[in-house]
Structure 1
Amino acid sequence: MGVIDDFIGEYERQFDFWDASARTTRGLLEDALTSSGLRAIVTSRAKSVGRLADKLQARNRGKAYTSIAEVRKDIPDLAGVRVALYFPGQMDEAERVIRATLDVQSSKRFPPASVSASSKTKTPQSGTVADEQPTPPDVSAHRQRFSGYGARHFRALIPEARLSAGQDRYASALVEVQVASVLMHAWSEVEHDLVYKPLEGELSPSEYALLDQLNGLVLAGEIALEQLQKAGDARVTIAATPFRNHYELAEFLRAKLSARDVDITEATLGKVDVLFDYLAEQHSAIASSVEPYLDLLELDFERRPVAAQLADLMLSGNESRYNAYLRAMSTTRHPASSRRTTVSSLRDEAPQTLALGEFVTAWVLLELLLKEISQSDDARLPPLPLIFRQLVARNLITPEQHAELTVMRQLRNRVVHGMGTDVPPEQLRKAAAWLRDLEQAIRRTASRE
C-alpha cells in the first residue's frame, strides 16, 4: 500500500472523531452567533473519504508524498464548518464572535487585498486557502471582471474550557471555518464544482464568462442584502411596535450604538437573546424602553457586554426584575443553561440555589439603599462605580470597603449573567452576610449626616 492509501485508511478509522469535532464546533458557533443576534446558516462536515482520496491523488502528482505526516500537514481541513451570513455587512462582527469562541490559529481573506480584480484570471476555490488549491485549467482566453470568491477562512481549535466532560479529545482537532454570505457560498459551490472538478471536459471561454457574470450578480445581490439590513435597522429604530425577536433587538442596538460613534464590530453585544426574553416577559421589548439606558453604558464592552450592562441598569433595586432576568437566563438557548431537570439534580443544586437567592436578595437590598441616598434626580440608578466613588467621598464607606464592594460587584455580575455556576454556596452565603452588614453600616452613617 502507498502513503495515500495508508492515510486514507487512517482517516476512515478516525472519521467519527473528525465529524464530531466539526459538529461540536458548529454547535458552539451557532449558539454564539444566535445569541449575538447574527442571522446565519451554520453547517458542518467531515471531508468525505472519496473526495479526500481524489484530492490527494491529484495533489500527489505535484508533491510526491513520502509519509503520512507529510500528507496530514498538507490537508488541514479534515473537519469544516461553514457560516453563511444573511447580511454580508456583519462579516466583521461574525469574525469577532468566532475569535471570541474559538482559538484561531490562522486566517485568510478572499480575495487577497493585493490582487487586483482587473488582472485576475481565476478565483480561490471554496473550501481551501489560496496556496492549497489545485491548478485550474487555462483560462487566459477570459479575463475576469469581478472579484470572485469573497470570504474569510479561519483554522481554529476548540478551547478546552468550552468542552464538556468526555469531549476533551476534540481540543486537538484543527477545524476550518469558512464565513461568507449565503449568496457567495452558493456561487462558490457552483464555481468550484465546474472549474476544479469538471466531469465533461474543461470549460469553454464563454462558460467562464458566464461564471464571471454570475459572480457579478452575486456581488450586486450582496449590496442589496446590505441595503436590506440598513432598511431593517431603520425600521426597528423608529418603530413603536415591540421587537419581534432578539435579532431585531440586536439590530436596534447596533444602529443606535453606531449613531453614537461606537464601533460595535470591536465590542461585544453579549447575550441579546437573554435580554430579549427578559424584556418580553416585562412587556418592555420596545425601542422606547431600551434607548434611555444607552447613554449610561460604560464603553468597556469586551469586559462587560452591552446586553449585560443594559440588564444591570434595568434591574437595579428591583427583586422581581432580578427574578425575571434569572428566569430568562435559565431558559436561554445556551446548552450550559438548558440541562434537563431531575429530582436528583434539584436535590444536588438546592444548596447552590438557596445561596444564590440569599446573595441576590442582599444585593437588591443594597441597591435599594443606594437608590435612596444617591442624590440623583433621575429615577434610574446611576452607574454603580460612580455611586461607589460618591460613597467614599461622603465617608459612607472606607476605601477598603470600596475595594471589597467592587469585588462583590464582580461576583454579582458572574452569578446574574450565568458565569457563576462554579461559585461554592458557602462563598455566596458569606458574601450575602457581608453585603447585609455593609448595608446596615451605610444606613447608620447616612442617618447621622
Structure 2
Amino acid sequence: MTTEALLQQFDEKQMIYAAFSSTMESLLKRLLTASNIDVHSISGRGKERSSIERKIQKKDKYSTISDITDIVGLRIICHYADEIDDIAKIIEEEFLIDSENSIDKRTVLDPDRFGYLSLHYVVSLKPHRASLLEYQGFTGLKFEIQVRSILQHTWAEIEHDIGYKAKIEVPKPIRRKFSTKVGVRSLTFDQSIRINSVIEMYKQPH
C-alpha cells in the first residue's frame, strides 16, 4: 500500500486512536490500583502524522495502518526497578501479548545503554474485555506499553537530549562512564527510598 493510502487510513482513524489512548491509560491505572501497585506515573501518547509518515517510508513493509503497532503508546514509570516484573505480570494477565513485537530490553541491550533498559510490550485487548460496550470500538487495535523505573527514564531522557543536540550517537566510552555512575546511583536511590518508606510506615499510628 502506498504511503498516501496508509496516511489516509491514519487520518480516518485519528479520533479512534485518541480515544483508545485515553481509555487504555485509564484501564491501566485501574488495573494497577486494584493490585495495590503505586507507580510514579502513567502517560499516553499518539504518534504524530509526520512521525507515521517517516516510519512508513523507512520500513516500507506495511500493508495497512493497523500493521503499525505503536501508533498509540503508554509509558509506566515505577519507583523501583524491581517493580517492573510485578507490573509485567499484570500486563501479561490482562492483555493479549504480541510476542513478535514485544521485547525486554533489560536482557538484550548493550549494558552501557542503562536508560534504555525498559520493558516494551505490544498488546491488544482480550476478547472478554473487547466485548464490553466501553471497549467495542477498539477490537483488534494494538498499542505499546513501556515500563521503566524513574532513574532509567531520567537517564534515557538525558542520553536522548545529549545525542539529539550533538546529532550523533553518544560515544561508547562516555556512555559506559555515565551508565556506571547512574547504575550505582540507581541502587543507592532505590535503597534510600525504601528506607524512607519503612520510616514512614513506622510513623503511622498502630
- If the length of structure 2 is used for normalisation, what is the TM-score? 0.80
| Residue 41 to residue 161, structure 1, CA distance change in 2 (3 Å) | same
Q: Distance in 1 between matches of 2:29 and 2:105?
A: 23
Q: Which residue among 241, 260, 264 is the counterpart of 2:204?
A: 241
Match of 1:172 in 2: 140
Q: CA deviation at 1:85?
A: 0.7
Please, which runs of 5 or more residues in structure 1 have no aligned partner? Answer: 118-144, 243-285, 287-449
CA contact (8 A) 1:154 1:178 kept: yes
CA contact (8 A) 1:110 1:152 kept: yes
Match of 2:56 in 1: 56
Equivalent position amino acid for 2:38 in 1: L
Match of 2:168 in 1: 202
CA RMSD in angstroms, aligned pairs only: 2.9
CA contact (8 A) 1:105 1:156 kept: yes
Q: CA deviation at 1:56?
A: 2.5
Q: Distance in 1 between matches of 2:30 and 2:103?
A: 24
Match of 1:156 in 2: 123
Give aligned pairs, total. Answer: 202
CA contact (8 A) 1:154 1:177 kept: yes
Q: Distance in 2 between matches of 1:15 and 1:199?
A: 31
Q: Which residue among 52, 75, 79 is the counterpart of 1:86?
A: 79
Q: Percent identity?
A: 18
Match of 2:93 in 1: 100
| SS of aligned partner of 2:107 | coil
Equivalent position amino acid for 1:13 in 2: E
| SS of aligned partner of 1:6 | helix
Q: CA deviation at 1:20?
A: 1.6
Q: Distance in 2 between matches of 1:229 and 1:173?
A: 38
Please list, as runs of the form range in 1=range in 2, the aligned pairs for 1:20-419 lying within 5 A after superposition: 20-35=19-34, 36-60=36-60, 65=61, 68-69=63-64, 72-73=66-67, 75-106=68-99, 107-113=102-108, 117=111, 145=112, 147=114, 149-162=116-129, 164-192=132-160, 195=163, 198=164, 201-203=167-169, 205=171, 209-235=173-199, 239=202, 241-242=204-205, 286=206
| Residue 210 to residue 150, structure 1, CA distance change in 2 (3 Å) | same
| Residue 234 to residue 201, structure 1, CA distance change in 2 (3 Å) | closer
More strand by share: 2
| Residue 176 to residue 146, structure 1, CA distance change in 2 (3 Å) | closer
- If the length of structure 1 is used for normalisation, what is the TM-score? 0.40
Please, which runs of 5 or more residues in structure 2 have no aligned partner? Answer: none
Equivalent position amino acid for 1:241 in 2: Q
Q: CA deviation at 1:155?
A: 1.3
Q: Distance in 2 between matches of 1:68 and 1:146?
A: 33
Q: CA deviation at 1:150?
A: 0.8
Which digits, 9 at most, give the CA deviation of each residue in 1:177-236, with x for residues without a partner? 0000122223324434654xx57643574xx54444443343233212320343145335
CA contact (8 A) 1:28 1:101 kept: no
Q: Using CA pairs below 8 Å that are at least 6 residues apart, which structure has the higher relative contact order?
A: 2
Q: CA deviation at 1:29?
A: 1.0
| Residue 9 to residue 34, structure 1, CA distance change in 2 (3 Å) | same
Equivalent position amino acid for 1:104 in 2: I
Q: Distance in 1 between matches of 2:117 and 2:19?
A: 28
| SS of aligned partner of 2:28 | helix
Equivalent position amino acid for 1:22 in 2: S
| Residue 219 to residue 175, structure 1, CA distance change in 2 (3 Å) | same
| Residue 46 to residue 216, structure 1, CA distance change in 2 (3 Å) | same
| Residue 181 to residue 158, structure 1, CA distance change in 2 (3 Å) | same
Asked which structure has the greater CA Rg, the reply is 1
